[in-house]
Structure 1
Amino acid sequence: MLKYKWCICDMDGTLLNSKEIISKENESALKKLQQNGVEVIIASGRIDLLMKSFIKQLNLEGNIICCNGGLIKNITTGEIVYSKTIDKNIVKEIILYCLKNDIGFLVYTNNMVYSSKKNYKVENYESINKSAPPSLQIPIEYIDNSTVEYLEKVDVFKVLLISDTEDVKLLKDYFSKYKSLTAVSSLDGLLDIMASNICKGSALKILSKKFRMDLDKVIVFGDNYNDLEMFECAGMPIAMGNAVEAIKMKAKYVTKSNNESGIAYAINNFILNK
C-alpha cells in the first residue's frame, strides 16, 4: 500500500500540456494511483464548468478545488463544501474598469461563466462547445456595459483578467489596493482576482480537516505562484520542469515539464517505485 492518499494536481502548466490536453501518459499514471487507493483531486484557478471533459477523462468523483481555493465542490453531488465570494459592488467596479480599458475578463460563478466579448480564452471555449456533447459544453454569457448590472445578482468566486504580461503587473498593483481582494498571477498574461485570504493551500487545509486527512499523505503537483501555499503544507510537493523558481525551491522533487508528461514521470519514478 502506498503511503499517500491524495494526489492534488494543478491544471494549467501542470496536468495540461501547452495544447491544453491531458496526455495519455498522465492519464494512465493517475489512474494507476487511483487503483492504488489514492484519490486524485484537481486544484485549479479554473472553475469546474471549464473542466468537465478533464473530470470525465480521469473518472473523478470526489471533491475539486476551484478558483484558487475560492470554491471547493463535490463534483458528483454538486454540494459546495466551501466558498468565499467577492463583494458584488467590487465585482462591478472590476468589470467596469475592464470594459473602460479594453481588458479581457472571465467571471466565474456556480452555474455560468460570464465573459467580455473578445478574448482568446472565451474564443477557445466557444470552439470547444461547437464539437462537445451538451453535457460537456461550457455555459457562457457575455457582459458589456448594458448587462453589467446582472452581476449584482450572482455570487462570484473569481474574476480572471486577460491582458499583456506587462499590463498584468500594473493590474495586480492596481487591484491590490482593495484589502478585500487577493490578486495572483497564474500564467503569463493572466491575473486571478478572488476574495481576500483565498489560496489553494488554505482550501487544501480546509478539505484535509473536513476529511481528517494527514497532509503528510498528500502529493501536490504545481508550476506557478498560485500553487505555492499548497507546496508549503503538503508532504510530497513536486514541481514541474517548467515551474517558476519559487515553486522549485519548495519542492521535494522537480519532474519533467508539462509538455513531457511530467506528472506521469514523477508518479512512475518517485511514487510507485519507492
Structure 2
Amino acid sequence: MYKIIAIDIDGTLIDSGGNIQPNTAKAIKTACAQGIVVTLSTGRSYHSALYYAKKLNIKAPLISANGSMIRDPLNGEVKQCHNFSNKNLSKILGALKSEKELFIQGYHLDGIVSFGKNNIINLTKMLNGTNRFSLKNTLRMLKDYKESKVRIKRNLTVDDGYQIHKFFIVGPKKGCKFLEEKLERFQCVIEPHYIGNHGYLEIIPNRVSKGEGLRWLAKYYNIPMEQTIAIGDSGNDVSMFKKSGMAIAMANGTKEAKSNADHITFSNNDNGVATAIKEFALVSKKDFGIVKRIV
C-alpha cells in the first residue's frame, strides 16, 4: 500500500487553464481521508505552492523550489532550506549581471526578488514558446506574482542580504544556452527547459532535487520510499521518479519524464492525477468501509 503521494503542479495538478479539475480535488481529498500523506512537489516558490495547498486542504510539508525549500503549509515553519553560499551566490550573480536579455527571479524565504528584463508580457510569450500575446495567461501570471510575493529590483547583489535558494531564468534559447555553459563551472544544479526559440533555467544548490525532498518527507513520516508515489510531467520530476516506489508521468509529459516513469496516466486536461490516485493508491469504498468499522 502506498502512503505518500507527491504531485507536481504545472502540467500535472493543474490543467492548461491553470485550474484544479474537480475529480482531481476529490481524489486528493479521498486519499487524505484514507490516511495517505499528500503533498505538492514543485519548481514553484513556497508561497505559490501554498495557494494550491490551501485549495486542497493539504497539511503535509510542501516540497517547493525543486526541493530547495520544504515548509509547513499550516504555520509556515521551515523544515529544510538549502541556500546558495554567499561565495557561490556572488559568482552566479556576477555571471547574470552581463545578461541583458534575460528575465531573472531569485527565490528567498519571504518571496521572490525579480530583476533583469522584467517585462511580464514578454515573459508569458516566452514561457508559452510563442510570440503571441495572451491576456488570459498574462493575468494568470500577475495573479501568481501576487501569491509569490514578487518584488522587482533593477539589480541584485550579495550586499542586498537576500538568502537565495533558487534562480529561475527565462530568455531567448541562445542566451539561456550560453548562460547554462557559464554556470556549469559553479557549484549548482542546472535544470534546462527549451521551448521553440526560448528557454528557461532552474538553478538550485548542489545535491538538491525534488527526489531528495521526497526522501526527506518519507523519513519525516517514517515511511519507506517503496511506499511513495511521484506524479509529474517534466525533467525536474525525474529525480523523484528515480527514488519513489512508483513513478507516474502525465500523457502530456516530456519524453524524459515518460521514459523514467513506471506508468503513464491521462493528461492534465483529462483527470490524469485523479486517475492515477484512484488506480494505484485508494482503497475501494467498500474495503475502506470495512477498515473503518474494524478500527
TM class by smaller structure:
0.7 to 0.9
Q: Is the 8 A contact 1:172 1:184 kept in 2?
A: no
Shift of 1:124: 5.0
Partner-residue secondary structure (3-state), 2:13: coil
Given the superposition, is the C-alpha separation of residues 29 and 183 from structure 1 closer, same or farther in structure 2, using an over 3 Å criterion? same
Shift of 1:187: 6.8
Aligned to 1:133: none
Q: Is the 8 A contact 2:265 2:272 kept in 1?
A: yes
Given the superposition, is the C-alpha separation of residues 239 and 166 from structure 1 closer, same or farther in structure 2, using an over 3 Å criterion? farther
Aligned to 1:267: 277
Aligned to 1:103: 102
Q: Is the 8 A contact 2:64 2:70 kept in 1?
A: yes
Output the amino acid matched with 2:277. Answer: I
Output the amino acid matched with 2:191. Answer: V
Identity %: 24
- What pairs with 1:82-101 in structure 2 (closer than 5 Å)? 82-95=80-93, 97-101=95-99
Deviations along 1:18-75, one digit per CA (max 9) or x if unpaired, are 2222222211111121121112111111111112321111001220111111111112
Alignment counterpart, residue 149 of structure 1, candidates 144, 157, 173? 157
Distance in 1, matches of 2:236 and 2:193, equals 6
Q: Is the 8 A contact 1:8 1:43 kept in 2?
A: yes
Shift of 1:96: 5.2
Q: Is the 8 A contact 1:15 1:258 kept in 2?
A: yes
Output the amino acid matched with 1:194. Answer: I
Aligned to 2:8: 10
Shift of 1:270: 3.8
Output the amino acid matched with 1:154. Answer: Y
Q: Which runs of 5+ in 2 are unaligned?
A: 125-136, 285-295
Aligned residue-pair number: 264
Partner-residue secondary structure (3-state), 1:230: helix
Q: Is the 8 A contact 2:12 2:233 kept in 1?
A: yes
Deviations along 1:175-227, one digit per CA (max 9) or x if unpaired, are 1111x111113574221111111111112112222321111111110111111
Output the amino acid matched with 1:51. Answer: A
Aligned to 1:164: 172
Aligned to 1:207: 217
Shifted more, 78-87 versus 37-46: the winner is 78-87
Aligned to 2:192: 185
Shift of 1:155: 1.2
Normalised by the length of structure 1, the TM-score is 0.86
Shift of 1:112: 2.1
- What pairs with 1:236-251 in structure 2 (closer than 5 Å)? 236-251=246-261
**1:139 correspondence with 2:138:** no
Q: Is the 8 A contact 2:104 2:114 kept in 1?
A: yes
For the pair shown, which has the larger CA radius of gyration, 1 or 2? Answer: 2
Q: Is the 8 A contact 1:218 1:234 kept in 2?
A: yes
- What pairs with 1:5-44 in structure 2 (closer than 5 Å)? 5-44=3-42
Q: Is the 8 A contact 2:93 2:157 kept in 1?
A: no
Aligned to 1:127: 142
Given the superposition, is the C-alpha separation of residues 52 and 265 from structure 1 closer, same or farther in structure 2, using an over 3 Å criterion? same
Q: Is the 8 A contact 2:229 2:248 kept in 1?
A: yes
Shift of 1:127: 2.7
Aligned to 2:290: none
Given the superposition, is the C-alpha separation of residues 231 and 155 from structure 1 closer, same or farther in structure 2, using an over 3 Å criterion? same
Root-mean-square deviation (Å): 2.5
Aligned to 1:113: 112
Normalised by the length of structure 2, the TM-score is 0.80
Given the superposition, is the C-alpha separation of residues 38 and 213 from structure 1 closer, same or farther in structure 2, using an over 3 Å criterion? same
Given the superposition, is the C-alpha separation of residues 256 and 167 from structure 1 closer, same or farther in structure 2, using an over 3 Å criterion? farther
Given the superposition, is the C-alpha separation of residues 52 and 208 from structure 1 closer, same or farther in structure 2, using an over 3 Å criterion? closer
Partner-residue secondary structure (3-state), 2:76: coil
Q: Is the 8 A contact 2:42 2:49 kept in 1?
A: no
Shift of 1:165: 4.0
